[in-house]
Structure 1
Amino acid sequence: MIWLGVLCVLLAAALVVYVTATERQMRGLSASLAQRSREGQRLRLAFPTAGARALAREANGLIDEADDVRRQAVEERRVLQENLASFSHDVRTPLAGAQGFLQLYAVADDDVERDECVAAAVERLGAMRVLVDALFEYAKADDGSRELAREPVDVAAVVSDVLAALYPAFAERGWQPEVSLVEDVVIEADGEAVRRIVENLLANCLRHGSAAPTVELHATGSEAVGSEGAGFVLTISNAAADLGALDEGRLGERFYRGDASRRAGGSGLGLATACSLADAMGLCLLPSIEGDRFIVTLSF
């Protein structure tokens, strides 16, 4: 019986050692998790039991996910700072030009020269205002606390109104947009927000397009207009130059304007504002490139 007592003592001692080691490892894992999750370091085990390995594996997975999120946030901040610097330069350029013409106005010799200086200064201040207004509109669209109205909106009527307002700009270029709109497409949305989306998309056509846009509003699939559950798509597309220089994955990103050749006009916020407004209303806005055409679809 002595050997049985000795065995029991040894088993009890082994159990105490096991529990003590496990407790120490759990405390070590807890301390390491608090530190390494901040630093992105993976956990390692000193006493690798099956349960401890499973815990460490799950913890390391969470650490890896958090590290990916941190890296993405750092990259997004870098891109944002870069784009803000570019946007600031675009604002300063017309401001500096206006200041220069006002200085020339002070030393001009005759009224004709002074009138030319004033006109040039006003033109550059107008360009700066376009950029500032675009930033303001994007800030409003991206404001998560902003409450948009929910009211019946006749999509075809909104598109027609915007096209009519922009007719002089299209006529100046000799463009005749191709328009095909089904009627009686009424959605629950914010009317002003829908109008802003259409305005921004058509303004992009005028600013960057090389030919008149095509505007289509049609039912998806075989659903009949007015039937329950019918879906609709508004498509605005136009031919444009240098589309190969654009990163299709970044279309709709704030301040994104592609290469320097496309930075002569616009703020890089028009499409981003449209995307934010569509998302806030639960609509799907998708920009894409097909050959030499820039296409934006808005699904209801």
Structure 2
Amino acid sequence: MIIVAGTLIILIMLLALYIAFLQRQLRNINRQLDKRLTEHTRQPIRLELLSRELNALAININKCLKAEENLRLKGIQEEKNFKELIANISHDLRTPLTAIKGYQQLMKNGDLSADQLKKLHTAQKHADELGRLIEHFFEYSYLLNAEPELNIKRINLTNLVAECLAASVTTLEEHNLTVRLEETPTVFVLADKEMVTRIIQNLIRNCVQHSNGDIKVSLLATNKAILSFKNPMKNTSVIDINRLFDRFYTGDKARSNSTGLGLSIVRLLAEQMGGSTAAFLQDGFLEIRVELPL
């Protein structure tokens, strides 16, 4: 009995040591995985192994990590290629459009009948719209590829919004739209004035293209400045609110006068200044909010 008891004690001690060793190896795996996550290293998992199962686990973890790294590098390359593609397309489209507008101007200066002038005017409107779409491509490709040089200053956001709305009165009237700017205390932000101006212009353009009624603009200062554009939508069922800021997303596929880049540019500019964007859809109204640092 003493021999059996002694043997059992020895076996229990050996088993306890083995379990402690396995726990040490598991802690080592967790420590190395944490290091990869926090320090963004690409080192494979290394162990002092006695267990075949742990050895197989480490090998499979390393295979998964390698596959994930390959996917990450592939995604980076594809994103780079995509940015270059957008830049090249926007550049290549500008040259023939300039030629088209030049020939249209020559035709306008010629001897045309009233019917021909009407058709030429229609063609010029489409050419101008194409020009605006190309400018969106060019702006987006520039923002993606260029390192932003921010000129952060304290600017009067309330006055800037009012100025941009006043400059867009003609366009708004052409689309039978009116804007109501809510009266609130003056809001100041720490931001790049040119970038904020482009944000406001894109928000106005988005409303002009998609609003089914008058536009409500409001400003609010909490821990951040909140700029809100709210407008009614004719068909809210076609809008995926979670994809609204995705590039090239257009809710209404029948609309051909939008690249789906306007709100993507808004988000990109806001994030470059430390801000954020959000969209809300309620009771037939679409609200776009932009938050900027005070």
TM-score tier after normalising by the smaller chain length: 0.5 to 0.7
Match of 1:156 in 2: 158
Match of 2:290 in 1: 298
- Counterpart of 1:216 (choices 218, 230, 238) is 218
- Counterpart of 1:276 (choices 268, 271, 276) is 268
Cα distance in 2 for residues equivalent to 1:289 and 1:71 = 36
Q: CA deviation at 1:161?
A: 0.6
Per-residue Cα deviation, 1:241-267 (whole angstroms, up to 9, x for no partner): 233222222211222213422334x22
Cα distance in 1 for residues equivalent to 2:278 and 2:101 = 38
- SS of equivalent residue, structure 1 residue 158: helix
Q: CA deviation at 1:170?
A: 2.8
Q: CA deviation at 1:130?
A: 0.9
Cα distance in 2 for residues equivalent to 1:291 and 1:56 = 54
Match of 2:205 in 1: 203
- Counterpart of 2:280 (choices 273, 279, 288) is 288
Q: TM-score, normalised by structure 1?
A: 0.65
Cα distance in 1 for residues equivalent to 2:120 and 2:176 = 30
Match of 1:60 in 2: 63
Match of 1:243 in 2: 236
Question: For this pair of structures, how many residues does the alignment match?
Answer: 241
Q: TM-score, normalised by structure 2?
A: 0.66
| Distance change (3 Å), C-alpha of 1:110 and 1:214 | closer
Q: Check conservation: 1:99, 1:121, Cα contact below 8 A.
A: no
Q: CA deviation at 1:121?
A: 3.0
Amino-acid identity (%):
22
Cα distance in 2 for residues equivalent to 1:58 and 1:212 = 57
Q: CA deviation at 1:49?
A: 2.6
Q: CA deviation at 1:109?
A: 8.8
Match of 2:173 in 1: 171
Name the stretch that deviates more: 130-139 or 58-67. Answer: 58-67
Taking only aligned residues, the RMSD between alpha carbons, in angstroms, comes to 4.0
Q: CA deviation at 1:74?
A: 9.8
Q: Check conservation: 2:189, 2:225, Cα contact below 8 A.
A: no
Cα distance in 2 for residues equivalent to 1:80 and 1:141 = 10
Name the stretch that deviates more: 54-63 or 200-209. Answer: 54-63
Q: Which amino acid aligns with 1:253?
A: D
- Counterpart of 1:126 (choices 122, 125, 128) is 128
Q: Check conservation: 1:159, 1:198, Cα contact below 8 A.
A: yes
Q: CA deviation at 1:171?
A: 3.3
Q: CA deviation at 1:60?
A: 3.3
Q: How does 1:262-273 map to 2 (within 5 A)?
A: 262-264=255-257, 266-273=258-265
- SS of equivalent residue, structure 1 residue 134: helix
| Distance change (3 Å), C-alpha of 1:117 and 1:169 | closer
Per-residue Cα deviation, 1:111-146 (whole angstroms, up to 9, x for no partner): 334433432332222121111111122123323413
Q: Which amino acid aligns with 2:261?
A: L
Q: Check conservation: 1:140, 1:146, Cα contact below 8 A.
A: no
